[in-house]
Amino acid sequence: MEQYVRIEYGQMLKTFQSILEKEGLDAEKALQCARILTDNSFDGFDSHGVLRFEDFADRMKNGGMDKSAEPMIIRSEKAFECWDGNKGIGPLNAIAMSERAVDLANRFGIGIAAIRNTTHWMRGGTYGKHIAEHGCFGICWTNTKANMKAWGTDKEIIGNNPIVFSAPSSEERSIVLDMALSQYSYGKLTAMEMAGRMLPFFGGFDRNGKLTKDPGLILESRNAVPIGYWKGYGLALMLDIFSSVLSGGVSTLSMPEQGHTVSQVFIAINPGVNGSSAVEGIIQELKKNGEEVHYPGEGTEKRRAENLSSGVSVPYPVWNSIMERNAK
Amino acid sequence: MEQYVRIEYGQMLKTFQSILEKEGLDAEKALQCARILTDNSFDGFDSHGVLRFEDFADRMKNGGMDKSAEPMIIRSEKAFECWDGNKGIGPLNAIAMSERAVDLANRFGIGIAAIRNTTHWMRGGTYGKHIAEHGCFGICWTNTKANMKAWGTDKEIIGNNPIVFSAPSSEERSIVLDMALSQYSYGKLTAMEMAGRMLPFFGGFDRNGKLTKDPGLILESRNAVPIGYWKGYGLALMLDIFSSVLSGGVSTLSMPEQGHTVSQVFIAINPGVNGSSAVEGIIQELKKNGEEVHYPGEGTEKRRAENLSSGVSVPYPVWNSIMERNAK
The pLDDT tens digits of the residues spanning A290-328 come to 999 999 999 999 999 999 999 999 999 999 999 999 998
Is residue A35's pLDDT more than 90? yes
**Tens digit of each residue's pLDDT (9 = 90 or more) over A120-162:** 999 999 999 999 999 999 999 999 999 999 999 999 999 999 9
Is residue A1's pLDDT more than 80? no
Of A183, A269, A290, the CB nearest to B246: A269
Across residues A253-280, what is the average pLDDT?
Answer: 95
Between B172 and B39, name the one with better pLDDT: B39
Compute φ and ψ for A257, nearest 5 degrees.
Answer: -60, -45
Residue B63 has what pLDDT? 82
Find the radius of gyration of the CA atoms of chain B.
20
Distance CA B177, CA B125 (A): 7
Residue B307 has what pLDDT? 98
Distance CA B23, CA B125 (A): 26
**A265 has a chain B CB within 8 A of its CB:** no
Distance CA B22, CA A168 (A): 47
Grade residue B1 by pLDDT with cuts at 50, 70 and 90: low
Instruction: Determine, for residues A79 and B75 on separate chains, whether the beta-carbon distance falls below 8 Å.
Output: no
Instruction: Determine, for residues A78 and B278 on separate chains, whether the beta-carbon distance falls below 8 Å.
Output: no
> Looking at beta carbons, which residues of chain B come within 8 Å of A292?
152-153
**B150 has a chain A CB within 8 A of its CB:** yes
Instruction: Determine, for residues B153 and A111 on separate chains, whether the beta-carbon distance falls below 8 Å.
Output: no
> Looking at beta carbons, which residues of chain B come within 8 Å of A107?
78
Query: Which three-class secondary structure state does DSSP give residue A10?
Result: helix
Residue A188 has what pLDDT? 87
Across residues B20-39, what is the average pLDDT?
Answer: 96
DSSP B134-192: TT-EEEEEE--S--EEPTTSS-EEE----EEEEE--TT---EEEEE-SBSS-HHHHHHH
Sheet strands side by side (includes B110-118): B72-77, B80-84, B110-118, B262-269, B137-142, B163-167, B175-179
CA atoms within a 13 Å half-sphere pointing along the CA-CB vector of A84? 8
Work out the minimum CA distance from A96 to partner chain B, whole angstroms: 19
Of B80, B211, B269, the CB nearest to A112: B269
Do residues A17 and A30 lie in contact, with contact meaning Cβ atoms separated by under 8 Å? yes
Active site residues of B: 48
**B237 has a chain A CB within 8 A of its CB:** yes
Of A152, A165, A244, the CB nearest to B292: A152
Do residues B155 and B149 lie in contact, with contact meaning Cβ atoms separated by under 8 Å? yes
Is residue B33's pLDDT more than 90? yes
A24: how many CB neighbours lie within 10 A of its CB? 12
**B213 has a chain A CB within 8 A of its CB:** no
Grade residue B186 by pLDDT with cuts at 50, 70 and 90: confident
Distance CA A208, CA B145 (A): 40
All residues at 6 or more sequence positions from B128 whose CB lies less than 8 Å from its CB, including other chains: B138, B140, B164, B165, B166, B176, B177, B178
Structure ipTM? 0.97
**A188 has a chain B CB within 8 A of its CB:** no
Compute φ and ψ for B75, nearest 5 degrees.
Answer: -155, 140
Distance CA B100, CA B111 (A): 8
Residue A301 has what pLDDT? 97
Instruction: Determine, for residues A241 and B175 on separate chains, whether the beta-carbon distance falls below 8 Å.
Output: yes
Query: What b/e readout covers B84-107, taking b as 16+ CB neighbours within 10 angstroms?
Result: bbbbbbbbbbbbbbbbbbbebbeb
The rounded mean pLDDT for chain B is 96
Grade residue A116 by pLDDT with cuts at 50, 70 and 90: very high
Residue A2 has what pLDDT? 75
> Looking at beta carbons, which residues of chain B come within 8 Å of A271?
245-246
**B291 has a chain A CB within 8 A of its CB:** no
Instruction: Determine, for residues B245 and A286 on separate chains, whether the beta-carbon distance falls below 8 Å.
Output: no
Residue A64 has what pLDDT? 87
Residue B40 has what pLDDT? 97
**A305 has a chain B CB within 8 A of its CB:** no
**A24 has a chain B CB within 8 A of its CB:** no
> Looking at beta carbons, which residues of chain B come within 8 Å of A74?
none
DSSP state of A226: B
**B140 has a chain A CB within 8 A of its CB:** no
Do residues B251 and B244 lie in contact, with contact meaning Cβ atoms separated by under 8 Å? yes
Residue B257 has what pLDDT? 86
Across residues B98-126, what is the average pLDDT?
Answer: 98
Is residue A171's pLDDT more than 90? yes
Grade residue B188 by pLDDT with cuts at 50, 70 and 90: confident
Query: What b/e readout covers B54-68, taking b as 16+ CB neighbours within 10 angstroms?
Result: eebbebbeeeebebe
Residue A45 has what pLDDT? 93
Of A109, A251, A293, the CB nearest to B79: A109
**B282 has a chain A CB within 8 A of its CB:** yes
Across residues B223-240, what is the average pLDDT?
Answer: 97
Q: Which helix (H) or strand (E) holds A74?
A: strand A72-77
Do residues B127 and B142 lie in contact, with contact meaning Cβ atoms separated by under 8 Å? no
Distance CA A204, CA A225 (A): 4
Instruction: Determine, for residues B109 and A80 on separate chains, whether the beta-carbon distance falls below 8 Å.
Output: yes
**For B189-233, what is the HEC assignment?**
HHHHHHCCCCCCCCCEECCCCCEECCHHHHHHHCCECECCCHHHH
Across residues A173-194, what is the average pLDDT?
Answer: 93
Instruction: Determine, for residues B269 and A111 on separate chains, whether the beta-carbon distance falls below 8 Å.
Output: no
Across residues B189-205, what is the average pLDDT?
Answer: 93
Residue B2 has what pLDDT? 75
Strands A110-118 and A80-84: parallel
Between B307 and B194, name the one with better pLDDT: B307
Across residues B135-158, what is the average pLDDT?
Answer: 96
Work out the minimum CA distance from B177 to partner chain A, whole angstroms: 7
Find residues 32-71 of chain B whose CB sits inside 8 Å of chain A.
none
Is residue B64's pLDDT more than 90? no
> Looking at beta carbons, which residues of chain A come within 8 Å of B111?
79, 110
Q: Is residue A88 classed exposed, middle or buried when 0-12, 13-18 and 19+ CB atoms within 10 A define those classes?
A: buried
Residue A185 has what pLDDT? 87
Compute φ and ψ for B168, nearest 5 degrees.
Answer: -80, 145
**Tens digit of each residue's pLDDT (9 = 90 or more) over A194-249:** 899 999 999 999 999 999 999 999 999 989 999 999 999 999 999 999 999 999 99
H-state helical runs in A195-310: 215-221, 230-247, 275-287, 298-310
Residue B62 has what pLDDT? 86
Of B78, B167, B290, the CB nearest to A242: B167
Distance CA A72, CA A91 (A): 15
Work out the minimum CA distance from A52 to partner chain B, whole angstroms: 24
**B271 has a chain A CB within 8 A of its CB:** yes
